[in-house]
Amino acid sequence: MKYILPILIFFLISCQEENNEYKVLQGNAFGTTYGIQFFSDAKAINEKSIDSIFDKLNQSMSTYITYSDISKINSGYENIKVDDAFLEVFNSAKKIYNESEGYFDPTVGLLVNAYGFGPEGYDENFTKTELDSLMTYVGFDKLRIQNRQVLSTKPHFYIDFNAIAKGYAVDRVAIFLEQNGIENYLVEIGGEVRVKGKNKRTDQLWKLGIDMPTENDERILKYATELSNEALATSGNYRKFRIDSATGNKFVHTINPKTGLAKKSNILSASIIAKTCMEADAYATACMAMGFSKAKIMVESLEEIDAFFIYINDEGEQKTFSTKGFQEKLIEL
């Protein structure tokens, strides 16, 4: 799994009082860091058990591992039988592809690589002609799964689940905690978060701060939100970009699957609350690709998610938008 965009970083705000049941696990995964906070004496919850979950997901869906199932499929191997995790992510991706009218599309992987955001490096001779050629392979509707095998109406496709798989990894850890009887936890991987219950150290809901967009490493907290039994993911393009040395053009990580272009969206960041982090992750990416007007229509039409956008209006002013559900949970610091 490659890095996925969580440009907004969420900071847990909590007090420091002692609690013998409070535990923290931290480490590295998927090219970023993770942090897990929970309240339990369960011995089965440790770094080794968490790493085991990540290893299985990497084996299934990492485009950075040449022997993973997804890498083999992308390389043209036949008769690869995908596992339950792959199936679940594929089906969710298909649902969000349809609901976003194709703006969330895991088949942009060839474009991701061409712009230099993938494992294969940047092609300095990447031209519009090549872009047009690559666009013929974009379209998640061209793929289906039958008997656990990925089938396509067009050869040479490239699947990239990185805008959904990290959120799915958060969900798998959360499910593992629940299977071990843990009712109060926070799971975070690279800024994507899922929580349950409350922070028993404060006896309050889990409180998460939200970064304001800046084009440097400065982090400014202006908003926070309180969550329970929900997930939060954010996508943004104001820090993660590559400058072409020859042209000076800025290529952002969020690629518009309709045009194949990597241009800056008028949404600086999109934060999505959903029941699963997998869904929140994918919808946040879709909103970035869609731009503010289309994204606003989509999030207001979907009852299962809530959204908070920081965007630039037509006058060049930075503004915010939130759905009613998100507004009820939003705290201005």
Q: CA 278, CA 171: separation in Å to the nearest integer?
A: 7
Structural domain contains residue 310: yes
Average pLDDT over residues 123-132: 73
pLDDT for the residue numbered 16: 39
The answer to whether residue 44 sits within a structural domain is yes
Which residue do the tokens 């959360």 mark? 174
Alpha helices in 197-272 (DSSP H): none
Predicted local confidence at residue 13, as pLDDT: 45
Rg (CA), the chain: 20
Establish if 1 belongs to a structural domain: no
Do residues 265 and 37 make contact, with C-beta atoms less than 8 angstroms apart? no
In a domain, 319, yes or no: yes
- HSE toward the beta carbon, residue 20, CA cutoff 13 A: 1
| Residue at 87 is within a domain | yes
pLDDT number for residue 167: 98
Contacts (Cβ under 8 Å, ≥6 apart) of 63: 1, 2, 70, 71, 74, 109, 118, 119, 160, 161, 162
Cβ-contact 299, 198 below 8 angstroms: no
Predicted pLDDT at 122 = 53
Instruction: Report if residue 194 sits inside a domain.
Output: yes
Give the chain's end-to-end CA distance (angstroms, integer). Answer: 34
Residue 160 has pLDDT above 60, yes or no: yes
pLDDT band, residue 318 (cuts 50/70/90): confident
Average pLDDT score over residue span 277-285: 97
**Cβ neighbours of 235 (radius 10 Å):** 31
Note down the domain range covering 248: 10-332
Residue 249 pLDDT: 57
Query: For residue 36, is it within any domain?
Result: yes
Which range has the worst mean pLDDT, 171-175, 241-245, 271-275? 241-245
Please work out, in degrees rounded to the nearest 5, the angle formed at the alpha carbon of residue 60 by the alpha carbons of 165 and 252.
40
Mean pLDDT is lowest, of 61-70, 126-135, 169-178, 316-325, for 126-135
Whichever domain contains 165, its CATH number is 3.10.520.10
pLDDT (tens digit per residue) in 193-223: 999 999 999 999 999 988 766 655 566 678 8
**Does residue 5 belong to any structural domain of this protein?**
no
Residues near 199 by Cβ (< 8 Å), separated by ≥ 6? 12, 14, 37, 184, 186, 205, 206, 207
Confidence of residue 316 (pLDDT cuts 50, 70, 90): confident
| Average pLDDT of span 124-135 | 79
How many structural domains compose the chain? 1
Angle at 201 between CA 46 and CA 9, to 5 degrees: 70
In this predicted model, what pLDDT tens digit does every residue of 238-257 receive, in sequence order? Answer: 555 555 666 665 455 678 89
Task: Give the pairing type, strands 306-312 and 330-332.
Answer: unpaired
